[in-house]
Structure 1
Amino acid sequence: MTNNTDICVIGAGRIGLPWAAVLADEGHTVTCVDVDEEIVDAIMAGDAPFEEPGLDELISRTVAEGQLTATTERSRVADANVVGVTLNAPADQIESYLDVLTGYCEHIDPDQTIINRTTLPVAITERTRVMIADGVGTEPANLDYVTFPERLAEGRAIEELRSLPKIVGTNNGRPHAVIDVLLEDLPGNPRYVDHETAAFIKLIDNAYRDARFAIANQFALAADRLGVDAHRAIALANDEYPRNDIPTPGTVGGKCLTKDPYFVTEEWVDDLPADLFSEARAANDAYADLVVNRVVELDPSSVVVLGRGFKRDVPDEVASPTIDIISDLERAGIDVESVEPLSIEPSERDAALKTAIPGSDAVILAVDHTYFRDRESMIRDLSDGLIVDLWGAFELGGRVERIGSGPLTRTESPPAND
């Protein structure tokens, strides 16, 4: 093994491609295999096929240097010393994931190192290892298999690949020579454990975050019944009080937080008296339902929704609760227009707001992008109707109201510091 390792990454999505680009930038020779020809063509043209800070520059440089390539040919898996698996495994499509991975086994050699970065239920982790071993004709104990869960936040993938601690599961729970080579130039010392513990830690990461957000949203649901401003109450509860660190209420989405908590509940607590993580998911979903119900009560004919991504400063609409909110409002007979500034050229963003907002009955700040926060005055000036703030991002007053403080019926709100 040398510092220049031949690596094949199966899947050039939001997990696989940033990892591949960082490895290529560290001097390894990396090939991405993906079934999507458009993604492959974009990579080979030196372009990132999706928005991720720093990724476009990395791809452009490493493709030009010959360190990174992409192909749709599965057989290229056979050319590498290391095979990384970053296939998507939705909760309701685990069998499909296993079938797709089985199709690659004919190109995998027992002497190759297999690194699985796909988030899986713990029980499926061992099943995957056994399946690959069977497919390549060796015993599971002899397969050089590594569980290396990704722990990245979309929008910070490159930064976090170079900084976060790495959890690594191996056959014996001990350091692994290949992983040590791949990570030697990346800060964040690896923590070596067994496969099951590595998979479980990834589920802990996201189930904990989802539950933490659910606490805030549960407070918002209760405050809404009581006519209390949940955003203001939480901010004051946190203020200089060392035992509180409660997040702001808001919608919760994305592929990981809407999936990983169920991987925990389905395997371990379905026969226990408590199911915290399913209840947390329900609280987060209920906040989005509350948004729809409160807006529908206003009986608007037209609404402008600001933002469509699943979180701040990320344009990705996959598993975005805002998309569901838009659909529900449209089903209620409301004319909905939306503006996602991160999907528009910067020079055209202000014009999009100036076109969409005037004349609408209500404006919903659905995603608190920095762009919207920086244009609070513009949005207030453009809007003739109510501004419904899901995040407490805008100052109360005038026509701005927040979700989580009762029906949206007021035209004037008291100042936030009264």
Structure 2
Amino acid sequence: MGLGYVGLTLAAALVRRGYQVYGVDSSPTVLKSLRSGRTHIYEPGLEEVFAEHLGHSLRVGPDLPEAVDAVVLCVSTPVDEQTRQPDLSNLAAAAAQVARWCGRDTLVVVRSTVPVGTSRRVVLPPLQRAWGDVRLVMAPERTIQGQALRELVELPQVVGGLDEASLAAGVEMFGGLSTEVVPMSSLEAAELVKLSNNCHTDLIYSFGNEVALIAEQHGLDPLEVIRAANLHYPRPDLSRPGYVGGGCLSKDPYLMMSGAEGPGPFLVGAARRLNEYLPVHVAARVVELVRQECGRTRGARLAVLGWAYKGWPPTDDMRGTPIAAMMPVFQEAGLAVLGHDPMVTEDVIRENGGEPTSLDKAFSDSDAVLVINDHPDYRAIDAGSLLGERGPKLVFDSWRIFDEQVLRSAGVRYASIGYLPEPSPAERPTTARPEVNA
């Protein structure tokens, strides 16, 4: 139930392991697309599975068939943008539907990411009222986009049960999918595994960003500092700075915090605030550098490369994308934002405030270029060959994927996250246009 990223990839992986799968979703648009063999999300291998199995061992529809052995709840559990409180209404509605459609012999699996205690507090009661005896497990999704079909088989599947009978049924089901199953002592323990994985990742990335912000204040190169700190040092490596988004890392810390009591959590919220601040900080730095190099911001043309939240593995996912936090800063400064992404459609770029452009024009017809993600197409760019006669005057290379010296030798101001080296004489414009209405 729920054919978003989690449900669709799980359905495909189960079908490939010999399961008979019926995908349920409430969106007519999603169902129409899937029935025609077109998947509405990008994931390597997904469309091939649908082309081979749709109509046979894989079917989709708005309702469950009469008899199923297991129902996996993969519905969204968003957080409110203002209050940051979890919205569990989709999960509650799905549980109520399962209570009406199925019976006590059906194994119910919570796959959605939830605050600790949600499976027992939200999903269990309607099932108990309808059936009495319930078989319920929590088996969190832990894949990375771009590798999901492989990781669903290779990663250990964590399973926590309501009781011994539930746990045994869950272990049997996921044992047919994965090479390793990890039984947990409770529903809550399994819920906390997923939150711990993602919040730890968010925290690790935030420390790299903290180092970058401190390095920037002292005029240092954060990558130089991080590389030296990691080199042959037998402790956990520091992460390099970068944006932290996506549907999980931008949401799960709030789910973890909502399920905690007392004075904490102490680290999770601070890490999330820092990672959400970084895109805003970078946008302000870009605006200031454009003002320095162009003499104005209003009407200056900024080409943004990379609108999806990450470039590798490639995705078209816009959830938690840095550009969403950056655009208000650019718009206030009066920048004209051009957009390019190998995976994101032109319509989506327009919907998010950009004017689509080609990769060539991003360099030849702009005053500044901002690289947000590290898609392989961008890593393959010979930036020097794309500069042309006109510009740009600034390249803000968030992932340090271009040859800095080539750009600086061509008179282009180069900068990155936490890295704002002084321009060489060749980079300084001979004349600055006056600021107008900036």
The alignment's TM-score, normalised by the length of structure 1, stands at 0.87
Which residue of structure 2 aligns with residue 117 of structure 1? 111
Q: For 1:232 and 1:363, locate their aligned partners in 2 and report how far apart those are by CA, in whole Å.
A: 23
1:240 aligns with 2:225: no
SS at match of 1:153: coil
Which residue of structure 2 aligns with residue 249 of structure 1? 241
Q: For 2:341 and 2:317, locate their aligned partners in 1 and report how far apart those are by CA, in whole Å.
A: 10
Counterparts in 2 of 1:77 and 1:149: CA distance versus 1, 3 Å: farther
How big is each residue's C-alpha offset from its partner over 1:188-235, in whole Å with a ceiling of 9 and x where there is no partner? 333333100000010000000000000000011111111111123212
190-199 or 321-330: bigger deviation? 321-330
Counterparts in 2 of 1:307 and 1:408: CA distance versus 1, 3 Å: farther
Amino acid in the other structure paired with 2:176: E
**Which ranges in structure 1 are unaligned for 5 or more consecutive residues?**
1-9, 346-350, 414-418
Q: For 1:98 and 1:186, locate their aligned partners in 2 and report how far apart those are by CA, in whole Å.
A: 25
Counterparts in 2 of 1:178 and 1:279: CA distance versus 1, 3 Å: closer
Q: For 1:180 and 1:191, locate their aligned partners in 2 and report how far apart those are by CA, in whole Å.
A: 11
Q: Which of 394, 398, 415 is the aligned partner of 1:390?
A: 398
Which residue of structure 1 aligns with residue 57 of structure 2? 67
- Quote how far apart the aligned CAs of 1:358 are: 1.4
- Quote how far apart the aligned CAs of 1:135 are: 4.7
How big is each residue's C-alpha offset from its partner over 1:143-166, in whole Å with a ceiling of 9 and x where there is no partner? 100101000111111111010011
SS at match of 1:136: helix
CA contact (8 A) 2:157 2:174 kept: no
206-215 or 220-229: bigger deviation? 220-229
Fraction of identical pairs, as percent: 28
CA contact (8 A) 1:389 1:401 kept: yes
Alignment of 1:274-293 (within 5 A): 275-293=266-284
**Which ranges in structure 2 are unaligned for 5 or more consecutive residues?**
81-85, 292-296, 347-356, 428-438
Q: For 2:365 and 2:403, locate their aligned partners in 1 and report how far apart those are by CA, in whole Å.
A: 22
Q: For 1:135 and 1:410, locate their aligned partners in 2 and report how far apart those are by CA, in whole Å.
A: 73
Which residue of structure 2 aligns with residue 368 of structure 1? 374
Which residue of structure 2 aligns with residue 416 of structure 1? none
Q: For 1:236 and 1:173, locate their aligned partners in 2 and report how far apart those are by CA, in whole Å.
A: 50
Q: For 2:70 and 2:4, locate their aligned partners in 1 and report how far apart those are by CA, in whole Å.
A: 18
Give the aligned length.
Answer: 392
1:81 aligns with 2:69: yes
Which residue of structure 1 aligns with residue 213 of structure 2? 221
Which residue of structure 1 aligns with residue 130 of structure 2? 136
SS at match of 1:255: helix
Q: Which of 79, 83, 86 is the aligned partner of 1:91?
A: 79
Q: For 1:411 and 1:68, locate their aligned partners in 2 and report how far apart those are by CA, in whole Å.
A: 64
- Quote how far apart the aligned CAs of 1:96 are: 1.9
The alignment's TM-score, normalised by the length of structure 2, stands at 0.83
Q: CA RMSD in A?
A: 2.3
Amino acid in the other structure paired with 1:30: V
327-336 or 171-180: bigger deviation? 171-180
Amino acid in the other structure paired with 1:362: A
- Quote how far apart the aligned CAs of 1:380 are: 5.2
Q: For 2:280 and 2:302, locate their aligned partners in 1 and report how far apart those are by CA, in whole Å.
A: 16
Q: Which of 14, 18, 25 is the aligned partner of 2:16?
A: 25
Amino acid in the other structure paired with 1:101: A
Which residue of structure 2 aligns with residue 3 of structure 1? none
CA contact (8 A) 1:23 1:182 kept: no
Q: For 1:179 and 1:146, locate their aligned partners in 2 and report how far apart those are by CA, in whole Å.
A: 9
Alignment of 1:172-211 (within 5 A): 172=163, 175-177=167-169, 179-211=171-203
SS at match of 2:358: helix
Q: Which of 139, 150, 171 is the aligned partner of 1:148?
A: 139
404-413 or 14-23: bigger deviation? 404-413
